[in-house]
Every structure is written in C-alpha cells, then in structure tokens.
Amino acid sequence: MTVTLREGVSDWPTAGFPGVRMNPDTLLPVVVNEEVMESALAASEDPADRIMALLLDNQPNEAAELLAEARYKDPESFRLRIFEAEVHRATNRLDRAVQLFRHLLQDVQGSSKEAIVHQYLGRAYFVSGNALAASEEFAKALDLRVAMAADAALIYSSAVALQRARNVLELAS
C-alpha cells in the first residue's frame, strides 16, 4: 500500500494530510509515513479523510461507496465534491474528472477555494497527458495562492507542480 518515510521525500510537497506527500514526478499523493497517516485517520471523523485513504490504497470502488453515502448526508460538501472528481481520476475516467472540477470551479470562482480547484484540475489534466492545460491551471493556482498569501506549503506545492508540467512540455517540444 505505502512506503515508509524514506530518503529523498522530505522535499516533496505536502499533500494536505499528515503522512502524505505529493510525488514531484507523477504529481499524485503518496503515503510516505503510514503510521502518521493512520494516527491522523484514527483521530478524524471526516469521511473525506477515509475516502482519501482508500484512494491512496488503490481502492477506488470502496472509496466510491463511502463517497456516495457521505454525499447523501452532505451533498454540498466542498471536500466531498473534490473527492467525487478524484474517484473518477483514480479510475481513469479523466474526462469526467475534468468536467466535475470545471463545474466546481464555476461554483467557487472568486472564493478562497478557487486555487484548490485549479490545483486539482491541473493534476487531472497532467495525469491525462495534457501538460499544457495542466501548466495553465497550476499557474492560476500559484498566482491565486501568492495573491492570498497562502501557506508556504501550498505555494510550494503549486510551484513544484507548475515546474513539472513545464518540464514535460519542454521535453515534448
């Protein structure tokens, strides 16, 4: 399922949950310290955290079941809407994931959540092989995060993702 915290991951961007970091090559979240993640999960009552853990454990069907139940109880939850699109990304229904992120982006435009959606949308584009669209979304996320004086870890995450997408574009040309 996971890797133990190992050499070379300390500079990987955090992925928004204890024990999880973003792989700078794939731009996907990876568990780097299972103990820390399990401890945080045990302390959490948020179903989105368990859904995230199932996705990290490559169990998208189980994540989708839990997501359906959670969305029924809280249909407007921003995090659950993010994970709905992430379930599609994890099951290679990338067009649907992009569509859901774009719809969510319309709903949060101008709010503090906009940068988050740009970041996720960029990742969906990157995973689908569209490095140009990914770099545009990561640039928007980075610009918004800098303008909002967001946490340095979020700015770093966007900067790493943007640089990776640009590197892929450069290699393709």
Using one digit for the tens of pLDDT, what is the confidence trace for 150-170? 999 999 999 999 999 999 999
Look at residue 150 and tell me if it is in a domain: yes
Tokens (6 digits) for 112: 């503090």
State the residue range of the domain holding 167. 99-173
Query: Computed from CA positions of residues 21, 19, 53, 15, in that sequence, does the dihedral angle turn out positive or negative?
Result: negative
Is the residue at 62 inside a domain? no
Number of other CB atoms surrounding residue 43 within 10 Å? 9
pLDDT confidence of residue 9: 78
pLDDT digits (tens, 9 = 90+) for 12-40: 998 889 999 999 999 999 999 999 999 99
Q: What per-residue confidence (pLDDT) applies to 172? A: 87
| pTM (global) more than 0.85 | yes
Residue count of the chain, please give it.
Answer: 173
Place of tokens 């792989």: 23
- Tokens, residue 135: 């770099």
Contact 122, 85 (CB under 8 A): no
- Write the pLDDT tens digit of every residue in 100-159: 999 999 999 999 999 999 999 999 999 999 999 999 999 999 999 999 999 999 999 999
**H-type alpha helices, the chain:** 34-43, 47-56, 60-73, 78-90, 94-108, 114-127, 131-147, 152-172
Residue 25 inside a domain? The answer is: no
- Pair of tokens at residue 69: 């139940």
Gap between the Cα atoms of 102 and 17, Å rounded? 24
Domain membership flag for residue 49: no
Residue 76 is assigned to a structural domain of this protein: no
Report the domain count for the chain: 1
Stronger pLDDT, 10 or 147, i.e. the higher one: 147
Please check whether residue 4 lies inside any domain of the structure.
Answer: no
Name residues whose C-beta falls within 8 Å of residue 108's C-beta, 6 or more positions apart in sequence: 78, 114, 116, 117
2 neighbors 34 (Cβ within 8 angstroms): yes
Contact 16, 155 (CB under 8 A): no
